[in-house]
Structure 1
Amino acid sequence: MPPFDVPEGDPFGPHNLPYGVFSLPGSAERTVGVRLGDHVLDAGAAAHALGSPYASLLARPTLNPLLAAGRTAWSDVRRALTAWVTVPAHRETVEPFFHPLSEVTLHLPFEVADYVDFYASENHARNVGQIFRPDAADSLTPNWKHLPIGYHGRSGTVVVSGTDVVRPSGQRKAPADPAPVFGPSVRLDIEAEVGFVVGVPSEQGRAVPLSAYRDHVFGLFLLNDWSARDIQAWEYVPLGPFLGKSFATSVSAWITPLDALDEARVAPPARTHDLLPYLDDSGEEPGGYDLRITVTINGHDVSECPFSTMYWTAAQQLAHMTVNGASLRTGDLYGSGTVSGPTERERGSLLELTWNGRDPLELPDGKRAFLEDGDVVTLSAWAPGPDGVRVGLGEVTGRVVPAS
């Protein structure tokens, strides 16, 4: 089937056009690609052939130059790409630059600068609070409804979908153990999240307001922030996650531009506490996204996570992490935190799905409290698009391999 003949309703049709980076068989050369159905368009080659002024941004081994170009360029390039794949007059010129998706190698689509991970789901935060502080009067910490809680992660271990994840080793100590021991994690978990990538940097010492979110953030993608719960439990008091989180964070090979998700914008849950002015989004455009995330383990669906339930929005997270004057850099990545809905079937981590291992999942290939070696975890998602069509998000998958 010609690459232009995308089946009606395909979630990766011309209404979507996510960006990635790919290489061809036998070649180490990487270049920017745009997905259409089950093909990828060499965007730089097509731009050069059509005389586009943005050819220099697209004929690169990473998305960073396009990210840094800013919102006007993002919109112009998207309009041009849409025309290239939909206007019949361009077909003869553009068709030679399509490649079957099954025949290319996908790479990490951008060079990651800093990495920040948040804790933005009230359902997730309450579940975690009930697990670890069952006698607390309130399962949320006192600050939770006043600011988006987050921590800085390790950007050097962000890996593209399909990369194996080596079971991490570290210290762990059960409450009844007399002393810590060292070894591979025995409580390896997932966190189903959505990531956001910053394009345009900001000046150090100047906060980025809510209204500037779309001027700085290029797009979003699925993210799995793998977690070694036993290592984390022993190390995270008082400074927070370290070895229990820094070993791997998997991201999709495809970045969905924000402009492709206009139909998926929704209002966040009602706020129960007054927000300080820099976080008050009552006068802003709807800051949530209606993304439907599916989590599978070894091909078996275990959860359906609704991103529309997230209490803190991506715009609020961006405003909060810059309000102290911290600057943004092109390629900064920030994660939403685990996406969990109000029901058991909507929880985005095994910690919650099994209630810290108490209630193992019954899978066709055996019970799971936490991940075993050889397990393959896949996140996939879609969002409402124009005229009832779905916008697909590129999946993120990873296989657990034994510690060496």
Structure 2
Amino acid sequence: MEPAVQQSRAPETPARARSRGAPSIADVAAVAGVSTQTVSRVSTGYSGVRPETRDKVMEAMRQVGYVPNSAARALKHGTFRTIGIIAHQLARTGESRTVEGVVEAARQAGYGVTLADVRTPTSHDVSAAAAGLASMAIDGVVIIRAESTAPETLSIPSHVPVVVSDSHFVGHHPAVATDQHAGTVMAVNHLLDLGHRTVTHLAGPEDSLPAAERLSAWQEALEAAGRPVPAPHHGDWSAQSGYEVGQTIAGLVLSGQTSAVFCANDQMALGLYRALYERGLRIPDDVSVVGFDDIPESAHLWPPLTSVAQDFRRIGQRLVDLLLDQIRTGDQPEERVLLPVELMVRASVGPAPDQGPAPDQARGRP
């Protein structure tokens, strides 16, 4: 009996896969050198795949022209009337209110939403969520706060429209943002106009783009006015971090080194309020405080917090507008929409302690 002859199979190539018709998961698996189960996990956004394996599979998908089944059906039969949203830390006011704006605008346009809440805003987690959404029955993707994500790592087929609320993606995807620079300059200049020698900054995380923009604008405003630029103090956006950093800032106030603080967001300002109160300091008699975001609670603090208002719901609505334009026309504009902000002046600001009483117009409305 003659021994069986083992025939070797030539490696799968992109050209060979395309020549056999529409590429399949098996074609991707052959090119990537992984199992079909692994390809399936990557295409559905499963988080348990190693980053290097996921990258290899995504590259194989691009090579063979593989499109997940649901996306292929959308190309053939039309839209699904559904938008995917990638968000992070929905407990934060800005993220949750932006998502509300997206949901509301989508509903008014007759679209439903599918939400993916990622654990961290890293390239790996955002890309995995994007790949998972792209494999579902969606017409486009809205990404909220992809601050740490490199645009080139997004694993989304080119036919799926994307919009983001982060300027990292300018030139890659249409983006919507608020005028962080103008809002910060307004806040700093308002404090300087009240006679404060300089303004201390309670900044956001060092790896956050909005925090970096506000810090840069704070520094520029002080330098433009010829004022000293003190070292910034970084928090993590939370009220707890504002309270902890506030212990140091309270010491600066007591020693006469500062009489005004600009906080990168209102939640950290809330923690600062407590730290100042515990040290026996009065707002605005001993120190003036300005926040950023103008969350609903800000007007109900005591004293009511002066804050830079940005319209999160409007951000969400404009994101949907840009996305629907792409869905309807098939065009992707290289556009960044910059929304205006407003300084809401309340009773948390007053003249520098060595100055006379503030005029009514400087104190603003309580």
TM value normalised by structure 2: 0.23
Larger Rg: 2
Which structure has more relative contact order (CA 8 Å, sep 6+)? It is: 1
Give the structure with the higher percent helix: 2
Give the structure with the higher percent strand: 1
TM value normalised by structure 1: 0.21
